[in-house]
Structure 1
Amino acid sequence: MIKGDDTVGDFQRFVTDVSTRLSTMSKGELFVVGDGLDRDSLWLTFLESFPAGTNLRFRERSEYDCSTCRGFVKNFGNVVEIHDGRVRTVWSGVSANDPVFSVVAAAMDEFVGSLPLSTVFRSTEAQYGTKTTRTLRDGQVEVWHHLHGRVEKRHHVTDVGAARGAFEAAVQVFQRGVAELTQQALDTVVDLIDDNALYRGAEHRRAVTDFRSLRNGWAQAADGRAFVFAHAMDPAARLRNTVIGTLVQDLSAGVDLEQAVRSFEAKVAPQNYQRPRALITPAMVKAAMKTIDELGIEESLQRRFARLSDVSVTNVLWVDNDTQSRMKDGIEGLLMKAATTGSAGPRPGDAKPEEIPVVAFMKDVLPGAATIDLWVANSHEPHFVSLTTGRHPAAPRLFNWDNDFGWSYNGNVADSIKEKVKRAGGNVTGKLRVSLSWFNHDDLDLHVYEPNGDHIWYQDKRNKLDVDMNAGGPFSREPVENVTWTRNIADGEYRIEVNQFSKRESTQVGFVIETESNGRIEHYSHEKAVGHKETVEVGRMTVAGEVITAFRPGRDMRAGSAGKDLWGITTEQFVPVSTLMYSPNHFDDNEVGNRHYFFILKGCVNDQPTRGIYNEFLRGDLQPHRKVFEVLGDRTKCEPTANQLSGLGFSSTVRSSVVAKVTMTSGRRRLISIQF
């Protein structure tokens, strides 16, 4: 304190400046620094900051030293504001031209400014200190001036601890958000929203973009912690703890885009929601196109159905006489003898065919074959396959083998239900198998009742049920369940049911049951939606000697026994083979992945646009962009042509069979069950 007539520095001006400064600061948010600091150190710093000779200590009292001023300094002395991203104290710029108090203010500003930000300022008191006090001395009234100040009502609370706790929690959320949520993840989510690829994404766009702006500001701030304190209470700062924030978190942590979006959709989307298309973002497209441009493979993306004239004679295992002249490179080296054309011949059920492994068939039968006819059963529908190639023969290859040919099975899939089961970890090598396949996020369950009454299902798998999908996330749109018997298969009647445990969608409904025994695969389909908790009787299967001898489908099941038109041919009859070849990954000297055997059928024409690009075919340097190539494969399908190479395909790693009627060059006819 000081008397009103003191001439050593202008204390009254200093008091007014400090009070005005505090009042101006309190119109915005206030913070405190060095909250754990001994408050007496503030007061001692204040007293010791006076220039020598200006704070004279008298016997009865010291100038500027009273309990009123001490209370102000201890309670308001470490209050700060954050202005233009920088911390400014209540002493900043005070009494700049005063020879004494400019020094005091600068010393306090330096000391307080060196202390770390602690928390938000809240107080139960709106005011500390009083403007003046009066004393009577030697009959004279003396007026003493004091440091004093008042803050706006917004800083005055009854529960300081609760207010500070809420602020500190907000700081922690924002600090973790800017540190953990990456710019790339934020950009990806905005791209998904703008591309309408995220369920109800538009309502979250502002939250994401506002946080992205905050994060950019934080990254450029001279004082990151000051920036966090200044913006911690902004609604956008809480993004990390919101539902859209969980998606950004997952992407920032490196979670696969599809998986991260599925997790988000599980939180916000209705059970029957189906995302309309594959997920790619402009950033992903830009990165992929950069690679495509660098590798010079843009022309390679243009695909079409392959023709017979595209295929080299060296890559054909067998060709009939009518086809030879249309082969690329002519017929040199084939040494085919004149063919003898026979009649359609018997159905395979009318005579027991010879069972010959495909390797033995290729070695011992094929060289002497004049004509080959395949019995195309309804169960072979998943085996329908088309050969594809690039539109520009000189363009660089896309695939992991030294040619530009690819293939696509019926339904634009690479393999059958059996292959799906295999990929899911199921056993497809047992003596008897029943598999369930469906096409959406529903949770269908396969139930099999054995002749002795044993019930095989997800709660009692009996070491036979080995795949159970869509029971919980992540959900698949190619789910399967599988029951396999490897030994001790009881004779008798097996009852098969499918139960809808959890209905989640109303699109792509229905299911297919696949049975296999003794190399024979049959399909039974249910084309209607299965209601929640509904049970469908698939059928009753009779087994004798570890072989399915009969199958009685349920009321709503469609068996694959009646012939139907597929790709220009009629099933359940013999169809002539024009060409037999390996899959392109085994052309020439390539031995990349599983070998497939392609029987190109006369008159077989795939009438649907067909994928020419599959991610599993791509060469290694294109794999990082598989999401984009997944979409490219869907958007750049081969348009149907009349002179395509289509027929039946069989994988060397999947047990299957097909009956062939072979007329040898000697005139002998053989009925052979080719075993794969």
Structure 2
Amino acid sequence: MCEKLMMSENSYEYKDFLEAVKKQFEFIVKEEKKLFVTNAEGLFDAYLNNLPEKSRQHYNCKTCKSFIEKYGALVTICDTGKIKSVIWNENFAPDFFKESVKAMKNIVLNSKVEEVFISEIEILGQPATGKWKHLSVNIPSTMVYHKKLFSAKQVSAEKAEDFRILKEGLKEYKIETVKQAVTLLKSESLYGFEKCLSIAEWLMDVHNKCANNKNSDNILWKAVATAPNGYCHIKSSMIGTLLDDIVLNLPFETIRNRFNQKMDPLNYQRPKALPTEGNIARAEKIVKELGIEKSLVRRFARVEELEKVWVPKIKNEQAKKGGVFAHIKTKSSQEKNIEMSPITITFRKFSETVLPLAEKIEYLVENKKRNYSAILTASYSDAPPILQWDREEKRNPFSWYVYQGGSEYKKWNLSLGYCTVNTVCMQPSMWFGHYPNQSKSVFFILEGAKDTEYMDAGNAIFPANLKSELREIRSTIEAYSKSALIEDYDNSSACGIKLEYGNNFDAIFRVTNSTGAVVYKLDRWD
């Protein structure tokens, strides 16, 4: 056993062996954050049988045997589908153990990946029993599974099901079909295309990597382990309905109309019936287990809470100067403000060339229905995350709502004519990271804008924005949301006009900089 080696001639090499295993593991997980379990067998026998015969009994340790049999078969998968042993590398091992390590590594490299490895513990193995040292490694805390609702074993089983579904999907939808879907989505002619484009591009990438590759199953395992939630469920998702229509060779207009109808915000990921008693009971249990009761309470956000990309400079300068008459324009400043016909410009160009120099921005409120919108947040600062883009390590509990088909200016406490823009911010899901299944939009927060009919809006918790573990109870959550109220209306100051990627804007802004005022018409994103 290991403890018998303390005074043996190989005791120092044994210590080096323990360190070599740790070194190999740390080297691998520094680059690869997803680990996989293979069906490798006979590792402990290979370990003992490749040691000098007279020393084998000394190393016949139950604790180390348990580590080798539980974790010795772990691998990572590279982009080409080749696997690499997470634990064994003879180049790091001391001479006495080289042949054993090499033998175990060869067994692992000739094995088959069977599941995604998910750990709820930070230490694999038992580092010591008393004063005796054993094989063990430490998993980085960022790789440890901490969620409450499902166990690591359940999540691993779900990944195995994702593997099966994805493999069937690739067989059903050939690469040519997927490429056509990508082309249609990139044309931006389908409503809500951005929610499916990233999935279609991901699927095309998986298809390309698997083509004529003997390690295609490994590529699928890596895709399953790294894919955003829902990506593998091709057949049952919106991308599946588009692919089905392409396979049926339907006319483009028919495909577009069918897609647009399904992606209508009133239909997309929205429950079609009231929740059942069973779903309500399940929802009560999940909400309690996750401790998210407070997370369902929402309030209007305040402008000072937003992650801004622009704030007015004139207001800030006047605040510094102070004085009762600081806000009054001078004759010279009035002479500068010669307005011309609106300059048509994309939002991308506007953000790159106009925003950096803008001292003041005003939005032209017209007698037309527009996407006026309010930004919301959690009422309780300690409410756990429920939104896809809200994470414990980087809190972002902000969301938004608009009315289907737009709304009238009067409903938002606005008057016709130019209205001061208090700040500009991107859609909350864009603040800290990239969430490709979410749309892109920019908010121009307007002075005095408030939703005067907010009591009819519920509290705007939408199923498409929730974390995946809440998907099964979305009908109950939506029913709750419809009957709830948004809090803190009196302090609502983060409301304005929302311009969304993929739509025609037809939005007019007057921008004042150091040289005067210019009117711009934003017509599209880019």
Q: What's the TM-score, normalizing by structure 1?
A: 0.34
Structure with the higher helix share, 1 or 2 = 2
TM-score w.r.t. the length of structure 2 is: 0.42
Give the structure with higher Rg (CA).
Answer: 1
